[in-house]
Copies of this chain bind each other. A is one copy, B any other.
């Protein structure tokens, strides 16, 4: 049994999908969380000076998507064969496309510019990406509520997490996307996930 240590900020962010994977799998891990002022002292310990980092039996792995995919494969949440795993990866990449499109408005310092970028993101860009996700869900889900193959995979967990973040900023943003809303409802009904969501730390993002 390998030992797992996940290091990140005290936040959900891009590490939360991995915490959800551990929770669904019922697997133990060391959940290291740094506050903003603690992080500089540890930056040099990380291969790329960034987090999250997963340490597996002492070997460090950076990059949140690589970490989550590794854990999903370890715990049978990645898709049941190579082609299903590819479908999961395609959904995952489409979810990360949303995050990439959102970043400029999140990082913009000028308030007026930030508001304009945010309006454009939520008004024009996000709906296109959400439409793409519904297209893939309907293409790969075999008629079920999960993105791929009638089973919970890390694609559902990743969308669950980012869906929460998006609705925290814009409560109505999923209103026109009933397939995606049903998908998230199905995820939070899973007993191990419901339990985890009830007990996890409350953080700003």
A62 within 8 A of B: yes
Q: Is the CB of B82 within 8 A of A62?
A: no
Other-chain contact of A48, B65, B67, B69, B94 (Cβ < 8 Å): B94
Give every chain B residue within 8 A of A153 (Cβ-Cβ): none
Chain A 132-175 against B: per-residue CB contact (8 Å), 1 yes, 0 no?
A: 10011001000000000000000000000000000000000000
Other-chain contact of A66, B60, B66, B73, B89 (Cβ < 8 Å): B89
Closest approach, in angstroms, between the C-beta of A149 and any C-beta of chain B? 12
Per the CB 8 Å criterion, the residue count for chain A at the interface is: 30
Give every chain B residue within 8 A of A65 (Cβ-Cβ): 89, 93
Chain A 88-119 against B: per-residue CB contact (8 Å), 1 yes, 0 no?
A: 01101110000010000000000000000000
CA distance A69 to B92 in the complex (A): 13
CA distance A86 to B18 in the complex (A): 14
Q: Is the CB of A47 within 8 A of B135?
A: yes
**Closest residue of B by beta carbon distance from A70:** B86
CA distance A139 to B86 in the complex (A): 27
CA distance A155 to B174 in the complex (A): 36
10 A-B Cβ contacts within 8 A?
A47-B136, A61-B83, A61-B87, A63-B90, A63-B93, A65-B89, A66-B86, A67-B90, A73-B82, A100-B100
Which residues of A line the B interface, CB within 8 A?
47-48, 56, 59-63, 65-67, 69-70, 73-74, 82-83, 85-87, 89-90, 92-94, 100, 132, 135-136, 139
